[in-house]
Amino acid sequence: MVQYNFKKITVVPNGKDFVDIILSRTQRQTPTVVHKGYAISRLRQFYMRKVKYTQQNFHDKLSTIIDEFPRLDDIHPFYGDLLHVLYNKDHYKLALGQINTARNLIGKIAKDYVKLLKYGDSLYRCKCLKVAALGRMCTVLKRVGPSLAYLEQVRQHMARLPSIDPNTRTILICGYPNVGKSSFINKITRADVDVQPYAFTTKSLFVGHTDYKYLRYQVIDTPGILDRPFEDRNIIEMCSITALAHLRAAILFFLDISGSCGYSIAQQAALFHSIKSLFMNKPLIIVCNKTDLQPLEGISEEDRKLVMEMKSEALKTVIGQGGEATSDDSVLLTMSTLTEEGVISVKNAACERLLDQRVEVKMKSKKINDCLNRFHVAIPKPRDQKERPPCIPQAVLEAKAKEAAEKEKRKTEKDLENENGGAGVYSMNLRKHYILANDEWKEDILPEILDGHNVYDFIDPDILRRVEELEREEGIRQAEEENDEFEIDGAELTPEQQAALAEIRKKKSLLIQQHRIKKSNAESRPTVPRKFDKDKQYTSERMGRQLSKLGLDPSLAIQRMRSRSVSRRGRKRDRSPEGADGGDRMDVDGDTPGKKQRLSRSRSRSRSVSRPPHEVVPGEGLKDSAQKIKAIKLAKKSVKKRNKEARRGEADRVIPTLKPKHLYSGKRSTGKTDRR
Amino acid sequence: MRLEKCWFCSSTVYPGHGIQFVRNDAKIFRFCRSKCHKNFKMKRNPRKVKWTKAYRRVHGKDMTQDSTFEFERKRNRPERYDRNLAETVLKAIPKIDKIRVTREERHHKNRMKGKKEKLQKEAAKELEQSISLVKAPSALQKDPSLTLPQKIKVSVSQRQSEDNNAMEE
């Protein structure tokens, strides 16, 4: 079965948007760069490609529009008529026709301009041609704009049409406005149609689905029809007329007995007679609604006569189908949608009638024999005349009766809850139904946690026995322990030994501390000679104290130390002339001898010999070796002190400014960062 | 509500504390605090981390096997409530605790058994070897006992102090 689903039609853009889409796509999907210096064939090809691409896109998009919109002649006449009623067939066809001509025109334009482009001789001319071609195509489309807008509106409306399958089982509801058609459909299906006291609340067809005997039935609610000549009807009424005309459905004609819709029974009967031609060959049921306001028996004589007339008409359709003229139960029914009495019976009657009719039609058709051949219903033949009704054992009957009685007597938890204040206020006592050895224990609270343990982990039926065992064992162990409590006390230290030990340990830790400090400062600490000790570590008093602490007599040592210092100074003076004598071994006059000696030295020995350290060669503006020696000594003396104090000398590298501004300011030359 | 054990340090996790991590294989790791959680994330083995219970058990510092541990076992099947049983259980729990604590103490004492003797031997050896740090050998010869020497006062004369000043420039 084809599904009449108009939701899948692509959106129709309006004229301006259409042009924008196509042109931007051309811009994006074709190459954009071209230069004057290219070969002429390449330039022509470039522009021809653009023109052809644009034309192709227009063609594609317009073709999709034309194809997707349904052709009114090709679809089911119900939809064809419905679309005609709603959108006007001619206007629709015209719009689509215009789109078609636009498509052809664009094709022609493209063909012409491509032909012209083949003979373009410069970039500028080709470009002008392309601009002209695209411009004309866009103008064509702009002219078609109103049609596009109309088609977009049509598409939007079509997408919202109810999906009615014209071939399946359908029940159609018709009648005057406000008689109760929408209320009925709300009752039997899950459709949610607006029900309001004013007329023409329902403005279009609504579909609901309902089930009967495991089959699905469509129920269609129509807008109310007024009694007017055909030509005067408006679009809304035409919708329902179309539905009545084209759909093969069971028809429920609604009659408002009470007249509260604002129309009398006479008017409704008149309507009935004017559209009864549409009820040809369709199972018709006349439904008298709103019987809660006015029962069928209570209406006046003329009204009753009219109703009977309608009924006879309806009976004709039954007979026309070949059915028996049974009761008027299947033709004239009463119900009330407000009190819901008779609603289900109406539905069942309609469904039954429709089903019968459809089955009959199917039986008469040629295809039925294929179906019939496929299945066979087996009916067992009766063995004898004995009656065999279903048998229910007595016990089961009694049990059923008892259950029914109990159900009524028993008070449920829900009732209890409602009594005591409702869902939020009352919470049921879950412990009520506990099965325990002693019912007093039901309300007991057992703690879950005790002293950092989970109580539930300890619960064990044997626990008493095991704890006793444990305690016994513990008692035994404790007794054992007491027996070997005595620990052999070794040689305890005497108090003076302890004092000595403490002192030793103190001294050791001090040494370790000092060593650690020394080690951590080693790299940055200058090696200053003892002469300059600023901590006053190397004083004679200190030495004396330390020696006396060790138990030695320091007086001799101090004396020795003092005497030694004086002698040390004196010995220094004695030593230096020796050094000078050693140096004066060579005379100044003995320059040449010096040289000779050097040369001879070099001649006599095969290997070169470096000069001994104290040999002084005269030169550099000085008179003789002695003077040089003195000069050297003076120089050395002047730096000696500073060197010993480990201070910076002349030859030591000096950085006058640690952070020169020109290196630390400004941006990097490559522009990587703003700072250095 | 249950008290759980921290997977890393084996201390109890009370409600409202710690973090639970569920791995893709549905194994649950509970941590008592972020210290344990972070150690776990660093993939440290609790058996090698000194302050955890796992380490202490593995290295014999704490008691490993004992019948008091058998009492506390996670039971999956609930028992029907019995008031008398509940009473006995609630009374038994502190007793079991006490016994467990005494046993742990005993274990610790056993572990520390030879310590005193060892300390004494070490002390004696140290005394013998390092006595020279506090008492000069010559003093020791004169007075073989271990009494520490008294301080000897040395008088410094005036003349010598002048010389000292001249020396220290």
Chain B environment of A463 (Cβ under 8 Å): 71, 85, 88-89, 92
Cα B165 from Cα A19, distance rounded (Å): 109
Half-sphere exposure of A485 (CA within 13 A, CB side): 5
Over residues B48-87, the pLDDT tens digits come to 999 999 999 999 999 998 889 989 888 888 889 999 999 9
Over residues A298-324, the pLDDT tens digits come to 788 888 888 888 888 777 776 655 555
Chain B environment of A490 (Cβ under 8 Å): 116-117, 120-121
Nearest-CB residue to A550 (from B2, B135, B163):
B135
Cα A494 from Cα A502, distance rounded (Å): 12
Tell me what ipTM this predicted complex has. 0.79
Crossing angle, helix A40-68 and helix A15-29, to 10 degrees? 140
Whether residue B63 contacts residue B109, with contact meaning beta carbons closer than 8 Å, is answered with no
Interface of A with B in 428-487 (CB under 8 A): 434-438, 440-441, 444, 446-461, 463-464, 466-467, 470-471, 473-474, 477-478, 481, 487
Q: Is the pLDDT of residue A488 over 50?
A: yes
Over residues A198-225, the pLDDT tens digits come to 888 888 888 899 998 899 999 998 888 8
Tokens describing residue A629:
């020696």
Strands A449-450 and A453-454: antiparallel
Interface of A with B in 517-536 (CB under 8 A): 531
Average pLDDT over residues A454-477: 93
Whether residue A111 contacts residue A153, with contact meaning beta carbons closer than 8 Å, is answered with no
- Give yes or no for A507 touching B (CB within 8 A): yes
Q: Do the chains contact at A558 and B156, CB–CB below 8 Å?
A: yes
Q: What is the pLDDT, as a whole number, of residue A61?
A: 94
Interface of B with A in 38-57 (CB under 8 A): none
Cα A459 from Cα B89, distance rounded (Å): 6
Helix (H, G, I), strand (E, B) or coil at A537: coil
Of A306, A298, A367, the closest CA to residue A332 belongs to A306
Chain B environment of A480 (Cβ under 8 Å): none
Interface of B with A in 88-127 (CB under 8 A): 88-90, 92-97, 99, 102-103, 106, 113, 116-117, 120-121, 123-124, 126-127
Over residues A70-110, the pLDDT tens digits come to 888 888 888 888 888 888 899 999 999 999 999 999 999 99
Q: What is the pLDDT, as a whole number, of residue A319?
A: 64
Q: What is the pLDDT, as a whole number, of residue A321?
A: 57
Q: What is the pLDDT, as a whole number, of residue B156?
A: 60
Three-class SS string for A154-222?
A: HHHHHHCCCCCCCCCCEEEEEECCCCCHHHHHHHHCCCCCCCCCCCCCCCCCEEEEEEECCEEEEEEEC
Q: Is the pLDDT of residue A587 over 50?
A: no
- Give yes or no for A369 touching B (CB within 8 A): no
Confidence category of residue A455, pLDDT binned at 50, 70, 90: very high
Mean confidence (pLDDT) of chain A: 84
Which is higher by pLDDT, B31 or A9?
B31
Q: What is the pLDDT, as a whole number, of residue B98?
A: 95
Phi, psi of A341 (to 5 degrees): -95, 135
Of B58, B91, B45, B157, the closest CA to residue A555 belongs to B157
Whether residue B49 contacts residue B39, with contact meaning beta carbons closer than 8 Å, is answered with yes
Q: What is the pLDDT, as a whole number, of residue A501?
A: 92
Confidence category of residue A592, pLDDT binned at 50, 70, 90: very low
Lowest mean pLDDT among A364-368, A536-540, A581-585, B104-108: A581-585
Chain A environment of B16 (Cβ under 8 Å): none
Cα A108 from Cα A127, distance rounded (Å): 19
Q: Is the pLDDT of residue A248 over 50?
A: yes
Average pLDDT over residues A456-484: 91
- Angle at alpha carbon of residue A491, lines to A488 and A496, rounded to 5°: 145
Tokens describing residue A642:
């500073």
For the stretch A338-344, contacts whose Cβ atoms lie closer than 8 Å and that sit 24 or more positions apart, written own/partner, are: A338/A183, A338/A290, A338/A292, A339/A292, A340/A187, A341/A291, A341/A292, A342/A291, A343/A184, A343/A187, A343/A188, A344/A188
Nearest-CB residue to B133 (from A448, A455, A504):
A504
Confidence category of residue A579, pLDDT binned at 50, 70, 90: very low
Cα A192 from Cα A573, distance rounded (Å): 129
Give the minimum alpha-carbon distance from B46 to chain A in angstroms, rounded to a whole number: 22
Of A115, A111, A158, the closest CA to residue A137 belongs to A111
Nearest-CB residue to A451 (from B86, B97, B167):
B97
Mean confidence (pLDDT) of chain B: 88
Cα A444 from Cα B86, distance rounded (Å): 10
Q: Is the pLDDT of residue A176 over 80?
A: yes
Q: Is the pLDDT of residue A31 over 80?
A: yes
Residue written as tokens 């030793």? A504
Of B74, B88, B104, B149, the closest CA to residue A468 belongs to B88
Q: Do the chains contact at B156 and A540, CB–CB below 8 Å?
A: yes
Give the minimum alpha-carbon distance from B139 to chain A in angstroms, rounded to a whole number: 6
Average pLDDT over residues A101-127: 94
Phi, psi of A253 (to 5 degrees): -95, 120
Chain A environment of B117 (Cβ under 8 Å): 488, 490
Phi, psi of A477 (to 5 degrees): -65, -40
Q: What is the pLDDT, as a whole number, of residue A586?
A: 46
Give the minimum alpha-carbon distance from B49 to chain A in angstroms, rounded to a whole number: 24
Over residues B119-142, the pLDDT tens digits come to 999 999 999 898 888 888 888 888
Give the minimum alpha-carbon distance from A183 to chain B in angstroms, rounded to a whole number: 56
Average pLDDT over residues B88-117: 93
Tokens describing residue A325:
């003229």
Over residues A379-429, the pLDDT tens digits come to 888 888 888 888 889 999 899 988 888 877 788 888 888 888 888 888 888
Crossing angle, helix B158-167 and helix A555-583, to 10 degrees? 40
Q: Do the chains contact at A467 and B117, CB–CB below 8 Å?
A: no
- Give yes or no for A503 touching B (CB within 8 A): yes
- Give yes or no for A510 touching B (CB within 8 A): no
Which is higher by pLDDT, A584 or A566?
A566
User: Closest chain B residue to A464 measured between Cα atoms?
Assistant: B88
Chain pair A-B, CB pairs under 8 angstroms:
178
Q: What is the pLDDT, as a whole number, of residue A675?
A: 67
Q: What is the pLDDT, as a whole number, of residue A110?
A: 95
Cα A182 from Cα A220, distance rounded (Å): 10
Q: Is the pLDDT of residue A513 over 60?
A: yes
Nearest-CB residue to B154 (from A463, A507, A544):
A544
Could you give the dihedral angle defined by the CA atoms of residues B160, B165, B166 and B167, in that order, rounded to the nearest 10 degrees? 90
Interface of A with B in 570-589 (CB under 8 A): none
Strands A170-175 and A250-256: parallel
Cα A174 from Cα A225, distance rounded (Å): 7
Residue length, chain B? 169
Of A188, A180, A263, the closest CA to residue A222 belongs to A180
